Structure 1
């Protein structure tokens, strides 16, 4: 009876995931200027030809990596909301403050996002992904705010304001973690949520 092979060939989805993870690391370390097919192949430990087998060039690979990072962040937010239980305000707090903890509050993630942001003005596909991501974040915020009783006319502006607040606190927390803690960022965010959800109902 023939013995089974000592290894299994990587499945296509696993290989693609490896290449996307390698791209994220290269972008975080080198920026878009250093993100070449060769650099990513070296990072992933594969040949440049294999990168081309799975992705139609560096632009497609960067776009797929952006989508993957977006998905990772969305999963972390969803998990935080689910863990908060059924109380509407607890769910809103969890969604807003999840950005101040790993895996979202991360210097490496900041570096990767910075690389993506640098492409927004020069690549329509990245700009579209950026717009869709932020629209989805604001839409989720509007839904959570509505569950807390905020009237419909105020939802859009409140979601924009909270998004800007979260982005600013997240950015400073990643850049200068010694300036304030994640708990302090959460306290600041919750105080703004208190003001928004307790007035003008």
Structure 2
């Protein structure tokens, strides 16, 4: 038996040409069983959406750099970027799993002249799963940071409003005591003045 080297991706499967120099490439979509081509196309669509959502998340992160003066807007942009990154990571995971399933079924049910006797995952497949891991780790870290910042901001705002209410109550009490003391002084002054005016007068 002659074992030919080959490498396969979403679009093409290329194998070593024994009779001539170079490689013989065929469309992997044509090699896949007819029952699995729908899953393969779903994998392709998911991969495209995965890349598009990553681009959107990256654009939002770049936009956040121009709003460094406004902390609230920067946090919101960071949160939206993290959400898009999470969605892209989930789509990427689904796409990788669907492609792996289609490839394994194609190895078992594909054309006789293509079926490999042994195979292993290459660097691009490992990079795809590595990018998914980094993508999810970055997005989860960003969401945790955003949630922590929002909770701290709300707590500080609550303490600030509580301090304002306590200060307002203290000022109201001080004003009440102040006006109460002024009223008592005014009443006592009136009581002292009127007895002098109502005393006995000398006759002519």
Q: Which has the higher strand share?
A: 2
- Shorter-chain TM-score above 0.5: no
**Larger-gyration structure (1/2):** 2
Q: Which has the higher contact order (CA 8 A, sep 6+)?
A: 1
TM-score, normalization by structure 2: 0.29
TM-score (norm 1): 0.29
